[in-house]
A = this chain, B = another copy of it.
Amino acid sequence: MKKKLDLTNILEDARPDNYHELALECSWDEYFKVISSRRSIRVFDQTPVPASVIRNAIDAGLIAPTSSNLQQTEFYWARSPERKAALVKACLSQPAAATSQELVVIVARTNTWMRNSAAIITQLRESGAPKSAISYYEKLVPLAYRNGPLGLLGLFKRVYFFVKGLAGPVPREPKSFADIRVWTHKSAALASENFMLAIRAQGFDTCPMEGFDSKRVKKILGLGCGAEICMVVSVGKRGQGGVYGPRLRLPREWFAFEI
């Protein structure tokens, strides 16, 4: 049992010898154009957004890195006018939502990782992946992300790793449902950034919103337990007065440390 739980061994062995993927040559200048011209837009004009722009951006979101590749993020694009209107209201009718052409809700799931892990195991088996890769999903993933009824397994893990951690480094999270929430929102946010930059790269703009009624948004999407609203992103073309002002950033030395 002990050997099987050694993360390092499993990760090391998961590497096939024959696969290589060339690093594409990219353009920093072109990338910088995208990130620097992405501003949160509060007022959009009336230009419609082609469906392909949204679909490309969702595809971009879906290839962002996800924790243990468990792919917990979902995108809900409100195409029916009634649903979009309801979402605008649930976003407290803020101008960024009310003037938007499209609204996409990015959802962080806490309960789809078992389904996804099982599907990944099947795919890995079919592709003849090394045993250790399959073992990662069969053994380590359930151990890492399951916290048991009433979080009791999580509590046990917390105590176990606290004691084991006295002797050497141990993984410590997720050890509670609160940690699982952090964990899944993290992956959803990585996907959200890919999505928003993809919209900008195609000539349109976004505003990520957290000021919403999460209960109502979930109801509109038909979602219940195990789903959390990460953010609602509005999409369109920036209108006059849509950017509140020059980008305001506090001194770099408050946030960037070379240690």
Contact = CB atoms under 8 A, between A and B. Distances in A.
B12 A95 contact: yes
Interface string A48-61: 00000001101110
A89 B189 contact: no
Interface residues of A, number: 128
A142 to B, nearest CB: 15
Contact of A62 (B60, B187, B244, B249): B249
A54 to B, nearest CB: 9
Contact of A243 (B19, B32, B91): B19
Contacts of A202: 26, 28
This protein's copies in its complex: 2
B182 A181 contact: yes
B250 A116 contact: yes
Interface SS majority for chain A? mixed
Contacts of A189: 185-190, 193
Contact of A119 (B21, B250, B256): B250
Contacts of A31: 30-31, 34, 60, 197-198, 201
Contacts of A56: 28
A149 interface: no
Contact of A186 (B24, B90, B185): B185
